[in-house]
Amino acid sequence: MAISEPTIKRLWGKAAGRCSFPSCNQDCLVHLTNPSPTVIGEMAHVIAKSAGGPRGIPEGGSDDYENLILLCPSHHRLIDKAPPEEFPAGTLLEWKQRHEQYVEESLKAPHFGDRASLNKFVRKLLIENHACWATYGPEGHIATANPNSGAGDIWGYRKLSLLVPNNRSIVSAIRNNYELFSSEEYMVCCLFLEHAEGFERAAIEPIEGVPRFPSGFGDMFNE
């Protein structure tokens, strides 16, 4: 049985599209400026599917999220070529947990002392999201110029490695600094919270009725 699409997306999303080997943090999407961007991330089995594979057991390992770790090619090769006792399954699972916790912690926004600092923080993330959408999204210039470019595949990965993490940081910024908004502004922010939640769920598994990006939200953070 192959790794399911929701499992792939969950793994990529929680790792923010980066290698989970300690201190590596290699971006698993490279050469994004080329017409055909390259995905280098490898979904490595902690316990090999076959009994004779790395860290194998008689019944073999599963294709479930719990038995997978996202790695760059170099560290995937290093781990699987090493003697079994050098990188046991427990070590790989600990790396995965620590990396995902690091990603989660890094997305938390601070409490800002003034609205200008908050605006600057959110504006940067919104600009990154818009640039990614304009490049790889269904209506982006790559997909528009060449429908067979593969931009749609990259868009699926970029949603998980950039837009979803950025949205989480924006949500954190809103919740940690709600007192800097007027009541009317905070209502628009709450609409963004609903959009971000639905967008993240849909990035992992298609669902209907995801709220659209709220009109006027981006304008609130202009200089």
Of 44, 77, 106, the one marking the end of a domain is 106
Q: Distance between CA 142 and CA 157 in Å, rounded?
A: 15
How would DSSP label each residue in 130-161? HHHHHHHSTTSHHHHH-TTSSHHHHHHHHIII
Rounded to an integer, what distance in angstroms lies between the CA atom of residue 98 and that of residue 118? 28
Of 221, 197, 222, 220, give the one whose Cα is nearest residue 210. 197
In this structure, the answer to whether residues 73 and 134 fall within a common structural domain is no
Same domain, 88 and 119: no
Tokens 């280098």 sit on residue: 40
Q: Which of 62, 83, 106 is the C-terminal boundary of a domain?
A: 106
The percentage of the chain sitting over the pLDDT mark of 70, rounded to a whole number, equals 90
Structural domain of residue 184, as residue ranges?
A: 115-221
pLDDT tens digits in sequence order for the chain, 223 residues long? 688 989 999 999 999 999 999 999 988 876 555 555 567 789 999 999 999 999 999 999 999 999 999 999 999 999 999 988 899 999 999 999 999 999 999 999 999 999 999 999 999 999 999 999 998 887 767 767 666 666 677 888 889 999 999 999 999 999 999 999 999 999 999 999 999 999 999 998 888 889 999 999 999 998 7
* Same-domain status, 163 and 184: yes
Tens of pLDDT, residue by residue over 200-209, are: 999 988 888 8
Query: Taking Cα atoms as reference points, which of 85, 69, 66 lies closest to residue 28?
Result: 69
Do 73 and 161 lie in a common domain? Answer: no
132 and 63 within one domain: no
Domains identified in the chain, total number = 2
Is-above-0.75 flag for pTM?
Answer: yes
Report how far residue 21's alpha carbon sits from residue 44's, in angstroms, rounded to the nearest whole number.
11
Residues 14 and 64 in one domain: yes
